[in-house]
Amino acid sequence: FNFPETFSRPALFDFEGVSMINFFTDNWENIQNFKARPDDILVATYPKAGTTWVSYILDLLYFGNTAPERQTDLPIYMRVPFLEAVIPGLPSGVELADSLCTTPRLIKTHLPVQLVPKSFWEQNCRVVYVARNAKDNAVSYFHFDRMNMGQPDPVDWSTDLQKFKDGKKVFGPWYDHVCGYWEKKHTYSNIHYMFFEDMVEDTGREVERLCSFLGLSTPTEERDRITKGVHFDAMKQNNMINYSTVPLMDFKISPFMRKGKVGDWKNHFTVAQNEQFDEHYKQRMKNTTLQFRTQI
């Protein structure tokens, strides 16, 4: 990192109808013109839904055995470029992705489905989408924005929860994001839609389902090894995975691998906040078949 000494949190603005910050729009032309390859795998999520977890699983499935130095020397954000990111002191996500010489390329995005570069669809790339229930997602995003100086200031929990409901978090409304990719499945079959709650409930089963989507015949023992390796505690300890190398993040405020639980929202929502949230949620989600679990 070649990180600027003075830094202030970025401002939120409307970008093509979505709340954004300049770190994800500055490179827009190159992002939209990005040339995907047919074997690229796009990991798409709303922020804090389990992006790093699934990225690491994919990385181990494809490169766990063949490239040991990748595991010891290369942080996850270098292995799986964040397509739309232009972070001070780092090559842009597009530059990183273009420079990858592995096959397949694993590429991460938080863009809502309508803003994904069209090349991914034209090349019929595989898309792995991870969704997390709104309440835990909102809590995780709040703590992330507290500790990440590259994000707008969340102020306090109740202010931030209101922003979440209003779609004023970076990458826009959670509701449109999860529903957008869910609906996309009707017209584009190469999406594997996963749930954070299912991964917590039975990681091994989800790894197996992922392999079957990807057409991988990874042996059971290997899958078991990966399942153990991606346990929350193992990832939290792993400096190549836990984002401890990113100077923008202040782990004294909150670690990147924070709790990794389903249902932590119960420690944050007041009874009133919960009732109001449920009411608003019902309205926002009334036209979808998509269902989430807020506890397991």
Site residues (vs ligand A3P, CB under 6 A):
45, 47-53, 136, 140, 143, 200, 230-232, 235, 257-260, 264
Name the token pair of 240. Answer: 């190549």
Nearer to ligand A3P, 143 or 163 (CB): 143
Which CB sits closer to ligand A3P, 131 or 179?
131
Active site residue 110: yes
What is the nearest approach in angstroms of ligand A3P to the Cβ of residue 182? 18
Q: 19 or 140: whose CB is closer to ligand A3P?
A: 140
Per annotation, catalytic residue among 110, 143, 177, 268: 110
Closest-approach residue to ligand A3P (CB): 260
Task: Tell me the closest approach of the beta carbon of residue 29 to ligand A3P, in angstroms.
Answer: 26
- CA separation, residue 124 to residues 22, 38, 40, 129 (Å): 29, 6, 9, 15
**Min CB(283)–ligand A3P separation in Å:** 25
Cα–Cα distance, 160 to 168 (Å, whole number): 9
Cis amide prior to 88 (ω within 30 degrees):
no
Query: Whose Cβ is closer to ligand A3P: residue 35's or residue 231's?
Result: 231
Least Å from the CB of residue 53 to ligand A3P? 4
- Report angle CA 190, 193, 194 to the nearest 5 degrees: 140
Q: Give the whole-angstrom CA distance, residue 233 versus residue 41.
A: 26
Distance CA 1, CA 22 (A): 19
Query: Counting beta carbons within 10 angstroms of the beta carbon of residue 261, is it exposed (0 to 12), middle (13 to 18) or buried (19 or more)?
Result: middle
Catalytic residues: 110
